[in-house]
Amino acid sequence: MRYIKQYLMQDLQKKMVFVGGPRQCGKTTLALDILKSYKQNKQSGVYFNWDLDRDRRALLKHEWGENDRLVVFDELHKYPRWKNWLKGIYDTTKEFNRYLVTGSARLDVYRRGGDSLLGRYHYWRLHPFTLSEFPKPINTKEALHRLMTVGGFPEPFLDGNEREARRWRRERLDRVLKDDVRDLESIKNIQLLSLFVDELRSRVSSPIVLSNIAEDLQLSPVTLKKWLEILERMYLVFVVRPLTRNLPRAIQKPPKVYFFDNADVQGEEGAIFENLVATSLLKHLHFLEDRDGYRYELQYIRDKEKREVDFAIVKEGQVQELIEAKVSETTPSRALRYYAEKLDPLRARQVVLHAKRSMKKAKLEVVRAQDMLTLLNR
């Protein structure tokens, strides 16, 4: 059972539920599992996939009835007028039907359908597997190895074969760029967009200066900024911006870009591990936001003296935790020590991939990756 299933089941009793997340992270499997749970409780339901011609025709003809307690719409956001259409459906049938809508784009920000559905749905984000959630009988050590080599998406993670994972990853990226982007955005030169993604893959863990990449690709920084926003909406990448609030020596550095698929990263072990920590933290913060309603931000710190902390967790504008990711260094970094004193967060941790044990030094903790990352979302 995926980590958000029980919460989706609860929310479906009150409103529509939208589930967004990267392509092939398990949204359809989760939706069908929920549908199966309804049927086990002797409540009928029906599933429609917009990508299938037969389902698309049936969906537009409203081929479900009052007895279908749960109606699942998969990839509905590809219908240009989906929001107005769904608003009308929900307002006239909510007494009889429950609606679960899944999509591989950010369903909460797409405006291409017209009228807003605000107040009619709860939005959840599903992430790939991490150390806080992976299926048995895989143990933690093997799970960490797979996350570092083949990534956390269910198919390559469960298979554990690096060669097959590379083939799967290439096919998935092609589908996202050539199918999903083409369906939802007006980008003509997909080849240049693919080159832009390659540039981002080799720059994970470093601030992204779009003007430098634009010069290499002979495009404008404005174009690349738009493209980056599109890649975010498609759940291919996510952006971590610098923390500047209440930091007089902070500087307006460019953002960092990480990939939802940890195996997309091209770089050394340190960059891959930092991406893994970033994806694990983002999954945790999205879960807390979607469940509890607080606003969380994942940011990083860098000041004029070049003191840098990889991640700062900010809740409702207040720094809650500082996290530094290291491959093997167990001595707390100078920057982490400095900002732990200056900002006085609830916790300051250096998470280490190859540490033999976890330890605590004054306000600082040095923790093994498996000790820290397995406890997120629990």
Mean pLDDT, rounded, for 261-282: 96
CB-based contact 310:323 (threshold 8 Å): yes
**Domain parsing of the chain, residue ranges:** 5-125, 140-373
How much is the pLDDT for 190? 86
- CB under 8 Å to 245, separation ≥6 — which residues? 317
Q: What is the pLDDT of residue 362?
A: 73
Name the average pLDDT for the chain.
92
DSSP label at 246?
Answer: T
Q: Which residues contact 155 (CB under 8 A, 6 or more apart)?
A: 24, 168
The per-residue pLDDT for 252 is 66
- Among 109, 99, 35, smallest CA distance to 77 is for 109
pLDDT at 96: 94
CA atoms within 13 A on the CB side of 16: 25
For residue 306, give every residue at least 6 positions away whose Cβ sits within 8 Å of its Cβ, in sequence order, or none: none
Domain 5-125 annotated CATH 3.60.15.10? no
Q: Are 265 and 271 in contact (CB under 8 A)?
A: yes
pLDDT digits (tens, 9 = 90+) for 120-147: 999 999 999 999 999 999 999 999 999 9
Please name the residues in contact with 159: beta carbons below 8 A apart, sequence gap of 6 or more. Answer: 150, 165
CA-based nearest residue to 287, from 118, 50, 88, 123: 123
Distance CA 54, CA 356 (A): 55
Predicted pLDDT of residue 113 = 45
86-104 average pLDDT score: 95
pLDDT at 179: 85
**pLDDT on residue 377:** 61
| Residue 366 scores a pLDDT above 80 | yes
For residue 111, is pLDDT > 90?
Answer: no
What is the pLDDT confidence band of residue 4, given thresholds at 50, 70 and 90?
A: very high
**H helix and E strand count, the chain:** 14, 13
Contact 4, 133 (CB under 8 A): no
Of 52, 83, 58, residue with least CA distance to 71: 58
Assign 335 a pLDDT band (cuts: 50, 70, 90).
very high
Has residue 28 got a pLDDT over 70? Answer: yes
Position 245 pLDDT exceeds 90: no
CB 17 within 8 A of CB 121: yes
Residue spans of alpha helices (H) in 179-268 = 181-184, 190-201, 210-217, 221-233
Greater model confidence, 55 or 118: 55
Sign of CA dihedral 143, 146, 151, 156: negative
Distance linking the first and last C-alpha atoms of the chain: 14
C-alpha 339/C-alpha 242 separation (Å) is 14
